[in-house]
């Protein structure tokens, strides 16, 4: 089938709720168009509210700052710190592998979003309850529990992001996704910064502050879980049921689901060279995520920073994300996601170079200006969102959205098997050589990204 036609169809309305009003002339057409426009507006608002609430909760567990500091408060080890990106991206890619096929067949996807948000809240609620009893008596068990909970949360978050992407592909047209990202990120950043200034700074200074931080995170994720039921999601036709009980049992089997996902990935990658290139770019970009736990350790070990500095860095990073979304969102709607993605990947290579440059100067000045490191780090959430949005546009039909998104997520996660090695290299070789090498890998991903096509401008015909 003509793939260009598929793209025009999906771009025109990536779901029943995205169709523009039909031509005027008949009352039925006008009413149907108004209903579709109202549904699209309502669903966009609901998804934005969900993402805003999640973003407020996220600031209390900022991956680049708070989570490494929590682990260092229990045990200060570069190797264990290097496990955080592995658990993060590994969990976020494993869940989409298992559930992408099942999610694509689900008639309603909003219930999966509600469940995954509730599970994210449960992970941090458990950590809030267990932290104080274990901190003084069994710090070894606390470190193990933290890593297990962190891995579990990452898996739940991977499913959450997959469902959000599938709902965006179903309910929001491609030309409006940048605007939705602008609203959710900019408004979420403002409210998250306000929450951080109100509570996070004070709790970081308290001896028993971490349980309060975990409880706040759980509370906001729990509130976010209440939003998805209000989505006006059109019900899709249910796929035919298996012919026999044995086939049904096989479908429910985790190994069968995993094998089904891998087979689907293989077929999809073999049929779309552009997706292969995008996966390579994502793999190079993962160096950004592997390095981030070591920045606050560098400031603490080399520059003598105090825990109070974490609040400044969290605020700077979230402010940078919010301000950048004001440009990234509208620009990706007008000029296309591909162009903006190339620039974001290229700019992300600046972060490790800034840290290396600061390491060359006097420690007092470097510590005073270390907040500059977290300005380009503010582009990370936007880059990850654009990887998802570009994968949605690259998919030929809406049914392929979960698979395309899960493939890109797996490409981001695959290099993370090297993350403990990165931590070991930091312990043995020092920070600067590792940071310079990481910057080179990220810049290489930007070069590869320049060869990506623009799905919105693809002419009719088979893919090249």
Q: What percent of the chain has pLDDT over 90?
A: 25
Rounded to whole angstroms, the Cα distance separating 19 from 16 reads: 6
What's the mean pLDDT when you consider all of the chain? Answer: 80
What the block records as the tokens of 195 is: 């929450």
**pLDDT score of 252 more than 60:** no
What the block records as the tokens of 320 is: 């940078």
More confident residue, 242 or 214: 214
What the block records as the tokens of 159 is: 């499913």
The pLDDT confidence band at residue 238, using thresholds 50, 70 and 90, is low
Per-residue pLDDT, averaged over 187-213, amounts to 88
* CA atoms lying within 13 Å on the CB side of residue 158: 28
Summarize pLDDT for 73-111 with one digit per residue, the tens.
777 666 676 677 778 777 777 777 778 778 888 888 999
More confident residue, 279 or 70: 279
- pLDDT for 347 equals 92
* 55-59, 93-97, 325-329, 447-451: least confidently modelled range: 93-97
Per-residue pLDDT, averaged over 21-27, amounts to 44
More confident residue, 85 or 373: 373
Residue 362, by phi and psi: left (phi above 0), alpha (psi -120 to 50) or beta? Answer: beta
Sign of the dihedral through C-alpha 392, 398, 402, 406: negative
Rounded to whole angstroms, the Cα distance separating 404 from 388 reads: 9
Per-residue pLDDT, averaged over 230-241, amounts to 76
* CA atoms lying within 13 Å on the CB side of residue 6: 17
Rounded to whole angstroms, the Cα distance separating 65 from 377 reads: 11
Rounded to whole angstroms, the Cα distance separating 429 from 233 reads: 53
**pLDDT score of 141 more than 60:** yes
451, 293 contact by CB (below 8 A): no
259 Cβ partners below 8 Å, 6+ apart?
A: none
Rounded to whole angstroms, the Cα distance separating 221 from 215 reads: 10
Rounded to whole angstroms, the Cα distance separating 152 from 342 reads: 32
Sign of the dihedral through C-alpha 95, 98, 101, 102: negative
Q: What is the 3-state secondary structure (H, E, C) of the chain?
A: CCHHHHHHHHHHCCCHHHCCCCCCCCHHHHHHHHHHHHHHHHHHHHHHHHHHHHHHHHHCCCCCCHHHHHHHHHCCCHHHHHHHHHHHHHHHHHHHHHHHHHHHHCCCCHHHHHHHHHHHHHHHHHHHHHHHHHHHHCHHHHHHHHHHHHHHHHHHHHHHHHHHHHHHHHHCCHHHHHHHHHHHHHHHHHHHHHHHHHHHHHHHHCCCHHHHHHHHHHHHHHHHCCCHHHCCCCCCCCCCCCCCHHHHHHHHCHHHHHHHHHHHHHHHHHHCHHHHHHHHHHHHHHHHHHHCHHHHHHHHHHHCCCCCHHHHHHHHHHHHHHHHHHHHHHHHHHHCHHHHHHHHHHHHCHHHHHHHHHHCCCHHHHHHCHHHHHHHHCCHHHHHHHHHHHHHHHCCCHHHHHHHHHHHHHHHHHHHHHHHHHHHHHHHHCHHHHHHHHHHHHHHHHHHHCCCCCHHHCCCCCCC
What is the set of domains in the chain, with CATH numbers?
36-233+254-454 (1.20.1250.20)
439 Cβ partners below 8 Å, 6+ apart?
A: 349, 350, 351, 352, 353, 356
- Whether this prediction's pTM lies above 0.75 is answered by no
């Amino acid at each position: 089938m003509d793939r260009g036609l598929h793209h025009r169809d999906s771009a025109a309305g990536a779901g029943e709720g995205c169709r523009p009003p039909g031509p005027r002339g008949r009352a039925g057409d006008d009413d149907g168009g108004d209903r579709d426009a109202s549904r699209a507006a309502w669903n966009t608002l609901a998804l934005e509210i969900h993402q805003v609430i999640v973003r407020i909760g996220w600031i209390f567990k900022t991956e680049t700052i708070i989570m490494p500091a929590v682990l260092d408060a229990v045990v200060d080890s570069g190797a264990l710190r290097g496990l955080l990106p592995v658990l993060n991206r590994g969990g976020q890619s494993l869940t989409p592998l298992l559930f992408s096929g099942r999610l694509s067949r689900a008639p309603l996807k909003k219930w999966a979003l509600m469940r995954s948000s509730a599970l994210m809240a449960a992970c941090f609620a458990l950590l809030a309850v267990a932290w104080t009893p274990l901190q003084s008596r069994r710090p070894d068990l606390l470190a193990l529990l933290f890593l297990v909970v962190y891995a579990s949360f990452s898996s739940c978050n991977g499913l959450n992001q997959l469902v959000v992407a599938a709902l965006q592909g179903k309910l929001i047209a491609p030309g409006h996704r940048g605007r939705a990202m602008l609203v959710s990120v900019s408004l979420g950043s403002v409210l998250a910064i306000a929450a951080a200034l109100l509570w996070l700074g004070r709790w970081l200074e308290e001896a028993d502050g971490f349980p309060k931080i975990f409880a706040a995170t759980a509370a906001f994720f729990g509130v976010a879980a209440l939003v998805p039921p209000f989505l006006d999601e059109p019900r899709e036709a249910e796929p035919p049921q298996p012919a026999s009980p044995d086939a049904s049992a096989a479908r429910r089997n985790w190994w069968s689901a995993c094998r089904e996902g891998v087979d689907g990935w293989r077929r999809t990658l073999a049929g779309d060279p552009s997706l292969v290139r995008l996966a390579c770019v994502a793999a190079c970009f993962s160096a950004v995520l592997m390095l981030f736990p070591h920045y606050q350790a560098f400031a603490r070990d080399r520059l003598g920073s105090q825990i109070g500095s974490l609040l400044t860095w969290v605020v700077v990073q979230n402010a940078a994300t919010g301000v950048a979304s004001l440009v990234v969102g509208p620009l990706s709607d007008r000029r296309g996601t591909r162009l903006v993605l190339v620039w974001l990947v290229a700019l992300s290579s600046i972060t490790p170079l800034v840290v290396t440059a600061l390491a060359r100067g006097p420690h007092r000045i470097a510590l005073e200006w270390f907040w500059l490191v977290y300005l380009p780090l503010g582009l990370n959430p936007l880059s990850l969102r654009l990887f998802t949005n570009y994968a949605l546009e690259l998919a030929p039909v809406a049914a392929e959205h979960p698979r395309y998104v899960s493939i890109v997520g797996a490409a981001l996660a695959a290099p993370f098997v090297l993350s403990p090695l990165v931590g070991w290299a930091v312990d043995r070789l020092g920070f600067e050589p590792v940071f310079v090498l990481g910057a080179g890998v990220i810049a290489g991903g930007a070069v590869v990204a320049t060869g990506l096509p623009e799905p919105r401008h693809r002419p009719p015909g088979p893919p090249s």
